[in-house]
Amino acid sequence: MKHLETVKGSDNWLTTKFTALVNWAVNQSRANSLWPMPFGTACCAIEFMATAASRFDLARFGMERQAFSPRQSDVLICAGRLPFKLAPVIRRIYDQMPQPKWVISMGACASTGGIFDNYAMVQGIDTVVPVDVYVPGCPPRPEGLLYGILMLHKKIKGEDLFDPSLRTEHLLNDKGLRLPPEQIDEISEPFGNSVHQFRSA
């Protein structure tokens, strides 16, 4: 606890700020017992199951209890691609989660649409729900997912309980979108060396 100082010359007194102590306690408890809501859709869900199984074991990170009801979960792990037909479902599940809640976007398809730059696929779940940690990979190795989870732990431990902006509910705006349309179009544009992938012949 780096916020602690000892009073000079005394072994019996420690001082710290009250908020630092509360933040430390609450964030530790939150991070070390995140109950995941596994929104598993495709191949990443299988790697998620493998991460939860005996060899890689999520239970040692406090995530043993998979909450299949969003009302009892802390972190929504979107494991797999998200087609447009499924977008309202993940939005509803996200809205049903009580605060504090976080979202891990597992895999390339959940983060950016992956190899599916076509009519059916949401180009990244961040167009639909706010995301805290993106885990790349197709599918990410279990070690990769664990690294992402530990990164989320770090993020949670750095949070401030007394900052209300972290815990506000971000609902869809009156246009029915989370982000302005220009931003959605911009982040959905193909990037990188993908010149040939739209030519049919």
Residues that bind other proteins (CB under 8 A): 39-43, 45-47, 49-50, 53-55, 66, 68, 80-81, 83-91, 93, 115-123, 127-128, 138-139, 141, 172, 174-177, 181-182, 184-185, 188, 197-201
Q: Residue 128 or 133: which CB sits closer to other proteins?
A: 128
Least CB distance to other proteins at residue 182 (A)? 7
Tell me the closest approach of the beta carbon of residue 112 to other proteins, in angstroms: 12
Q: How far apart are CA 197 and CA 201, in angstroms?
A: 10
Q: How far is the CB of 82 from other proteins (least distance, A)?
A: 9
User: 129 vs 156, which CB is nearer to other proteins?
Assistant: 129
Cβ of 186: how many Cβ atoms within 10 Å? Answer: 10
How far apart are CB 107 and other proteins at their closest, in Å? 10
Q: Which is nearer to other proteins, 78 or 156 (CB)?
A: 78
**CA-CA distance, 121 to 81, in Å (whole number)?**
7
- Whose Cβ is closer to other proteins: residue 23's or residue 51's? 51
Please name the amino acid found at residue 29: S
The tokens for 44 are 């990443």
DSSP string of 22-52, one letter each residue = HHHHHHHHHHHT--EEEEE-SHHHHHHHHHH
Q: Tell me the helices (H) and strands (E) count for the chain, helix number first.
A: 6, 6
